[in-house]
């Protein structure tokens, strides 16, 4: 449990440091192995390293830190728990920071764990639900209940 988490600060960070980019050559990055991602790195926080095809956990870690979660020897830039989706999930659950939630109750500043991907919830007023993320940059991208069966929702408490 981390009662000092500021979910609005985390959400605001997420909105500030990503964008919605068109899937055009201007924003296309070749990450090797026939993997192309679309991003506008001019919107990214230059104080952190960038990861070509796996920046999602790095970005969510930055958001969580902006919300007040403290770094430690395990969770810090460049460490596995900071940049790996599965390692981050394990770390956050073991520390007691994350509590499983659901589509209805996961609010801004919470996270959605997808298969091999993670994003920050930027809005959930029970009508409009949006998310922000990296790898392919998205800002306030809507999601629906049809997505929820494939995802795990976590709130910080």
109-155 pLDDT, tens per residue? 999 999 889 999 999 998 999 999 998 899 999 999 888 888 999 99
Task: Tell me the mean pLDDT in the region 30-56.
Answer: 81
Q: What is the pLDDT of residues 81-118, one digit of tens each?
A: 999 999 999 999 999 999 999 999 999 999 999 988 99
Look at residue 97 and tell me if it is in a domain.
yes
Which of 41 and 24 is assigned the larger pLDDT? 41
Q: Does residue 36 register a pLDDT over 80?
A: no
- Cα three-residue angle 109-110-114, rounded to 5 degrees: 130
Look at residue 72 and tell me if it is in a domain.
yes
Look at residue 2 and tell me if it is in a domain.
no
Look at residue 22 and tell me if it is in a domain.
yes
Look at residue 91 and tell me if it is in a domain.
yes
Look at residue 1 and tell me if it is in a domain.
no
Q: Does residue 33 register a pLDDT over 70?
A: no
Task: Report H helices in 6-151.
Answer: 7-16, 56-66, 80-83, 85-95, 145-148
Question: The CATH number of the domain where 70 resides is what?
Answer: 3.90.1720.10
Please tell me the predicted confidence (pLDDT) of residue 152: 96
Beta bridge partners of 112: 119, 153
The domain tally of the chain equals: 1
Closest CA to 10 of 94, 104, 92: 92
Domain span including residue 16 = 7-156
Which tokens sit at 86? 């599965």
Look at residue 135 and tell me if it is in a domain.
yes
- Stated pTM of the model: 0.93
């Amino acid at each position: 449990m981390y009662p000092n988490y500021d979910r609005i600060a985390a959400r605001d960070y997420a909105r500030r440091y990503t964008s919605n980019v068109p899937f055009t050559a201007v924003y296309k990055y070749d990450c090797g192995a026939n993997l192309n991602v679309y991003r506008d790195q001019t919107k990214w926080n230059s104080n952190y390293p960038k990861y070509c095809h796996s920046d999602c956990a790095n970005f969510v870690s930055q958001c969580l830190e902006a919300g007040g979660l403290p770094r430690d020897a395990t969770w810090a830039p460049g460490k596995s728990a900071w940049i790996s989706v599965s390692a981050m999930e394990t770390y956050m659950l073991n520390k007691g920071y994350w509590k499983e939630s659901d589509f209805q109750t996961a609010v801004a500043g919470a996270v959605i764990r997808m298969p091999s991907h993670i994003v920050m919830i930027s809005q959930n007023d029970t009508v409009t639900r949006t998310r922000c993320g990296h790898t392919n940059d998205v800002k306030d991208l809507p999601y629906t209940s049809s997505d929820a069966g494939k995802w795990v929702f976590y709130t910080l408490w």
